[in-house]
Structure 1
Amino acid sequence: MALYAELHRHLGGSVVPRVLWRYFQRNRSNLIEHFPGYLDFEDFYTRPRNTLDEYLELHTMVESVQTEATLPYFVYRLMRGAYVFENLAYLELRYTPYLRTPDHLSQSERIEKMSEIVDIVGKASQIGEYPIEMSQILCMHSRLPYEVNRAIVDLAVAHPHYVCAVDLAGGDAHYRDRLDEYVKLYDYARQRGVNTTGHLYETEEGAYPELLPYLMRIGHGIQIPLHYPELLPQLAEQGQCLEVCPTTYLKTGTLDDLQQLKVVFDRCFEAGVDIAICTDNAGLHNVRLPFEYESLLTQDIISFQQLQACQDAAFRHAFAWKYEQRPERILSDILRPEADDDLDLMVGETSTVG
């Protein structure tokens, strides 16, 4: 059985429509009262949007109900589905903890509350019945002030047992006016030993080469091979990996056709730049990771060998994967140790005959 690693999934967009609908029915029926039934809600929740900003507005609906009291409910169902339906052995779940704190509190009180949110998500993810490793990526946000984003980095420093990296989210078209601030924050994170990724080069407005030196991975980054291929050797030299989320680009209007990703994969493979295939917002898309794999294969965007290389890259670039091997190999060593002994014997017999 193949087991996978998912490096780019948002907590806000990870709740599948049916789970969210049931929660609203039981607890917040006012949020769905204008939908005649579930299918109408699912269509609204998962349909493509015209722009990335319009798409990101959907996150606010989910963020408003992901509170201290409800996060265990959502995280448990997310983890269960990831293991049972997606064969995930490893998951990095990203979100902005500040946006899960009560909005009636002062900024300083909400900053203090963020630590509780990280602990709640971390404890809720420790599910003994489903052997899946999960770590958190904390997102700084373009809508939040410097003080809050700095506190998010400090939170990552203080919680290495739950947090594996920091990110920058909120739509890459909105970074320009505060670019020096984000450079400073990323530099601070790296100095404190925090791993880094960031939503960058997702859209044509999101080209910020100034941030690239501070990132260990690049969230999306598809505009680099599409429009700035001269940067690819630099990415390869620095060992940076692109977190490519195919369905997202159709849902946000960033790409018109999935076939446009063929250039992304071809140029990255040619330049030696790793790609991890991810879902981004599996709930908003109503799409699971194996479907992303299948879609790219059946449309001849990548070959089977390239798919395997991307799956290997996901484990290799995972911030909190503790093992040198993929889980299938570890399982094989446990379940079939005699196979290695037989192979050694065959090799020995061949060398003797030779």
Structure 2
Amino acid sequence: MRLVTALPKAHLHLHFTGSMRVGTVRDLAQKYGSRLPEALTTGYPPVLSGRDERGWFRFQRLYDAARGCVRDESDLRRIVREAAQDDAAEGSRWLELQVDPTSYAPSVGGISPALEIVLDEAAAVSREEPTQVAVVVAASRVRHPLDARTLARLAARHAGEGSGTVVGFGISNDERRGQTSDFAPAFEIARRAGLALVPHAGELLGPAAVEETLEAIRPDRIGHGVRSVEDPRVLELVAESGVALEVCPRSNLALGVYDSPQQVPLRTILEHGIPVALGADDPLLFGSRLADQYELARTALGFSDDELAELARGSVTASRAPAELQKAALEDIDAWLATPTARDR
């Protein structure tokens, strides 16, 4: 079979802290004399659940423990660089790395310096590695909507069209917290700046959350959105909207949204003409990276190489990558598909 790591693709759903290698977290913990939870050391990878508040709390506790090991500029730069290198090894040509600069502001002098460090390293690594890196600024649902507006204005000041710029604005964390419509003004700030609007919805909550997000925010993409298949009417709304879904199969399984890989509704979504970009979400906690999502589609859901190539095309066209990068990636996807397999030779 053709290697999925050689398939050109874009990566549109990867969180900053969650992108870390487990070895990096352990190195940083040793650097600062921090004690990590067993789930990040001898008990790795962690057993997780997002089905209820208790399960989400455990997930968030591990996430916060990892984030607490990121304390200076060199740590921020290391995470950006390693994310780009790991993506490059898996065929990613374009990475939109999601970051909430609020999380790192206390260590580097504020949210502006935190974002500027990430952007500067994204620009530097894009000059040196095959993967071009841009940034999505992500607000948190557990904070006040006015905080989201502050971040949206910061994102707007750094808006651009290539690597080392902000290309999108989103919102993440526990879907069960906050009212989506309360964050609409922040997304309007981002829209006026020309940023892609990429909120999370429809993983921990059902189709009503997807519908509310479509109405309140009018997004370009939705992070996850898989629960929309539970209501045919909402699924049609997604299809009619032209919104792309960032589907993260291994995340869905790790958090208990689905009990088996065969239940991930990837094929149903595609059959309704909805663009899809596969993403790894939080490799640190889920123990899987970008190529693993394509392997799951192939082995558990029976996707052919033609269908995998179509997924890769969807990731590229749903991205904010520059036109010339998209064109080259799409041509190389066709070349991947034209490469004979051992069976063809």
Query: TM-score per shorter chain, which class?
Result: 0.7 to 0.9
Aligned to 2:342: none
Q: Which amino acid aligns with 2:169?
A: V
| 1:81 and 2:86 matched | yes
Matches within 5 A, 1:1-354: 1-25=6-30, 27-32=31-36, 41=41, 43-49=43-49, 51-69=55-73, 70-83=75-88, 85-102=89-106, 113-125=110-122, 126-127=124-125, 128-161=127-160, 162-175=165-178, 178-204=179-205, 207-208=208-209, 209-213=211-215, 214-225=218-229, 227-261=230-264, 264-323=265-324, 324-327=326-329, 329=331
Residue 19 of structure 2: SS of its match in structure 1?
A: coil
Does structure 2 conserve the Cα–Cα contact (< 8 Å) formed by 1:48 and 1:252?
Answer: yes
Does structure 2 conserve the Cα–Cα contact (< 8 Å) formed by 1:8 and 1:92?
Answer: yes
CA 1:216 to 1:44, structure 2 compared with 1: closer, same or farther past 3 Å? same
Does structure 2 conserve the Cα–Cα contact (< 8 Å) formed by 1:200 and 1:207?
Answer: no
Q: Which amino acid aligns with 2:82?
A: R
TM-score where L is the length of structure 1: 0.81
CA distance, structure 2, for counterparts of residue 206 and residue 270 of structure 1: 18
Does structure 2 conserve the Cα–Cα contact (< 8 Å) formed by 1:16 and 1:284?
Answer: no
CA distance, structure 2, for counterparts of residue 6 and residue 233 of structure 1: 25
CA distance, structure 2, for counterparts of residue 154 and residue 196 of structure 1: 14
CA drift at 1:6: 0.5
CA drift at 1:187: 3.1
Extract structure 1 runs of 4+ deviating beyond 4 A. Answer: 330-333
Gaps of 5+ in 1: 104-109, 334-354
Gaps of 5+ in 2: 1-5, 336-345
Q: Which amino acid aligns with 1:268?
A: I
CA drift at 1:142: 1.3
The C-alpha deviation readout for 1:36-78, integer Å capped at 9, x for no partner, is xxx9715345333353443233221222232342211222222
- Identity fraction in percent: 21
CA distance, structure 2, for counterparts of residue 267 and residue 46 of structure 1: 29
CA drift at 1:143: 1.8
Q: How many residues align?
A: 315
CA drift at 1:331: 10
CA distance, structure 2, for counterparts of residue 144 and residue 332 of structure 1: 44
Does structure 2 conserve the Cα–Cα contact (< 8 Å) formed by 1:229 and 1:267?
Answer: no
CA distance, structure 1, for counterparts of residue 282 and residue 291 of structure 2: 14
The C-alpha deviation readout for 1:87-113, integer Å capped at 9, x for no partner, is 22110100211111118xxxxxx9x82
The C-alpha deviation readout for 1:236-289, integer Å capped at 9, x for no partner, is 22211110001111211221111111xx22322222111111100122222121
CA 1:326 to 1:277, structure 2 compared with 1: closer, same or farther past 3 Å? farther
Residue 59 of structure 1: SS of its match in structure 2?
A: helix
Q: Which moved more, 1:56-65 or 1:307-316?
A: 56-65
Does structure 1 conserve the Cα–Cα contact (< 8 Å) formed by 2:159 and 2:194?
Answer: no
